[in-house]
Amino acid sequence: MTLSDLQIQGQRALVRVDFNVPLDSAHHITDDTRIRRAIPTIQALLDGGASVVLMSHLGRPKGPDAGLSLKHLVGRISELLGTDVAFASDCVGDAALDVTQQLKPGEVALLENLRFHPEEKAGDEFFAGQLAENGDVYVNDAFGTAHRAHASTAVIAKFFPEDKAFGLLMHNEIEALNKVLATPAKPLLAIIGGAKVSSKLTILENLVDRVDRLIVGGGMAYTFVKAQGGAIGTSLVEDDMLDKAKRILEKAQAAGTELLLPQDTLCADDFSAEANTAIHPTHAIPDDWMGLDIGPKTRKAFVQTVLESRTILWNGPMGVFEMDVFAGGTNDVAEALAKVTAEHDAFTLIGGGDSVAAIHKAGLASAVSYVSTGGGAMLEVLEGKVLPGIAAIQD
Ligand code: AMP
């Protein structure tokens, strides 16, 4: 169900993209990554003789909101494509149809913000049908919103029973996840970090018996260490997750999964870049000290584990990487991922807001196999959920 399965010559391709880009107060785009990632799909459709109608949401408007108009994006899209982009001041009705019905092969139009209509998020079927009038074939390339059952991401697909497909970005995201979840080269390692067990609990539960090795780092590791009876000082902890952490440790043991926790920790006497620091065993952190990064022994051990693995999924930093003094563990992991990709042809997938930020900060985003564009969507796949946006195309 990729673009090559569609008859597109002379057709209007209605493409759901994720153009939810950040704008500054003057409505200038501050990061156009999401637009750039959709260009190959748009270009492929144009090259195949289609015209293209783009639709997206932007921000969280409660109704029409000039500050969140997609017209602010027209110039940048046009520049990246090297062609004019017509703008329709609404995504449904005459304002949209007057533009989309005039399109000739090779031409591009952009519809106004889908979320100016509450029916979009409500998944309203009538509204989805109105949107569908703007195209002859439907392409979903918005992985970032594929976990939402909205009108433009899921419901609309039923109006194109034979003429729907994933765009190239969406296809690549699904392939990357399949390489980890369905057909991994072994050993398979998942590295899960970040602040809280509670936000990654379902992922940990879903992955613990699928992977060969599971590294738990970052703030969430201290809840595991406390569950094992360790002293963790004033480190981040979720006392209501202690039983759940124990259950994951037991599940790992039962499944024969090697679960690695930090053996030593870089501690600080304050949550600050200027704090005094000291290395302590993670199970014996003194009172009044908090763990803010993995320690030197752990860094070596985690790097070694990465280098021995052939498929690696990474979500969540190993420490408070926003402060350089506590970024060492996260950077080591990023570098090890780049190394194992280059030297051992391993498949390395990075997903979820903070690890994506960390790999960019380390300047290594192009040195790993795939960096996911969909934070929440990717996390839901890792939780074992079927995403509505994917199911709607596959149905
Ligand atoms: P998440 O959004 O759950 O992936 O968590 C990312 C956040 O976890 C980042 O802002 C990190 O600074 C934070 N974090 C990582 N390790 C620690 C730690 N040891 N103590 C407190 N916060 C941490």
Expressed in angstroms and rounded, the spacing between residue 266 Cα and the centre of ligand 1 is 14
179, two tokens: 């390489």
Residues 146 and 179 in one domain: no
260 lines ligand 1 (CB under 6 A): no
Asked, for residue 389, whether it belongs to a domain, the answer is: no
Per-residue pLDDT at 94: 98
111, two tokens: 């519809």
217 lines ligand 1 (CB under 6 A): no
165, two tokens: 């497909």
Asked, for residue 121, whether it belongs to a domain, the answer is: yes
Residues 234 and 258 in one domain: yes
Asked, for residue 341, whether it belongs to a domain, the answer is: yes
CA 151 to CA 158: how far, in whole Å?
A: 10
| pLDDT tier for residue 395 given thresholds of 50, 70 and 90 | confident
Q: Active-site residue 329, yes or no?
A: no
If one counts every other C-beta atom within 10 angstroms of the C-beta of residue 131, the result is 27
Asked, for residue 162, whether it belongs to a domain, the answer is: yes
Asked, for residue 393, whether it belongs to a domain, the answer is: no
Per-residue pLDDT at 231: 98
Q: What does the radius of gyration of the chain's CA atoms come to, in whole angstroms?
A: 23
Domain range for residue 25?
3-166
Name 285's bridge partners. 232
Expressed in angstroms and rounded, the spacing between residue 224 Cα and the centre of ligand 1 is 15
Asked, for residue 388, whether it belongs to a domain, the answer is: no
Lowest mean pLDDT among 66-70, 150-154, 168-172, 350-354: 350-354
pLDDT tens-digit series, residues 271-324 = 999 999 999 999 999 999 999 999 999 999 999 999 999 999 999 999 999 999
Q: Which of 125, 145, 166 is the last residue of a domain?
A: 166
pLDDT tens-digit series, residues 159-187 = 999 999 999 999 999 999 999 999 999 99
Per-residue pLDDT at 63: 95
| pLDDT tier for residue 354 given thresholds of 50, 70 and 90 | confident
Q: What is the CATH number of the domain that holds 281?
A: 3.40.50.1260
Residues 114 and 182 in one domain: no
Residues 159 and 178 in one domain: no
Q: Active-site residue 196, yes or no?
A: yes
Asked, for residue 49, whether it belongs to a domain, the answer is: yes
Asked, for residue 395, whether it belongs to a domain, the answer is: no
Residues 37 and 106 in one domain: yes
Does residue 125 surpass a pLDDT of 80? yes
Residues 148 and 254 in one domain: no
What is the identity of the amino acid at 150? H
Mean pLDDT of 340-358: 93
Per-residue pLDDT at 352: 79
Mean pLDDT of 382-388: 94
pLDDT tens-digit series, residues 56-114 = 999 999 999 999 999 999 999 999 999 999 999 999 999 999 999 999 999 999 999 99
295 lines ligand 1 (CB under 6 A): no
Residues 129 and 197 in one domain: no
97 lines ligand 1 (CB under 6 A): no
Matching residue, tokens 């960019």:
360
Per-residue pLDDT at 374: 82
Residues 195 and 160 in one domain: no
Residue 296, preceding bond cis, omega within 30 degrees? no
Expressed in angstroms and rounded, the spacing between residue 319 Cα and the centre of ligand 1 is 6
Per-residue pLDDT at 375: 82
Q: Is the pTM of this model over 0.85?
A: yes
Residues 125 and 53 in one domain: yes
**Who contacts 320 (Cβ-Cβ below 8 Å, separation ≥6)?**
219, 271, 292, 293, 326, 327
Residues 39 and 72 in one domain: yes
Question: What residue ranges in the chain does DSSP mark as E strands?
Answer: 12-16, 51-55, 85-88, 108-111, 137-140, 164-166, 188-192, 213-216, 231-232, 258-260, 264-268, 277-281, 284-285, 290-294, 311-315, 347-350, 370-371
Q: Which of 144, 166, 188 is the last residue of a domain?
A: 166
Q: Which of 166, 195, 221 is the last residue of a domain?
A: 166
CA 148 to CA 146: how far, in whole Å?
A: 5
Residues 197 and 344 in one domain: yes
Ligand 1: which residue has its CA nearest to atom 18?
219
CA 145 to CA 152: how far, in whole Å?
A: 10
Residues 235 and 346 in one domain: yes
Give the count of domains, the chain.
Answer: 2
Expressed in angstroms and rounded, the spacing between residue 296 Cα and the centre of ligand 1 is 18
CA 162 to CA 176: how far, in whole Å?
A: 25
Mean pLDDT of 38-63: 97
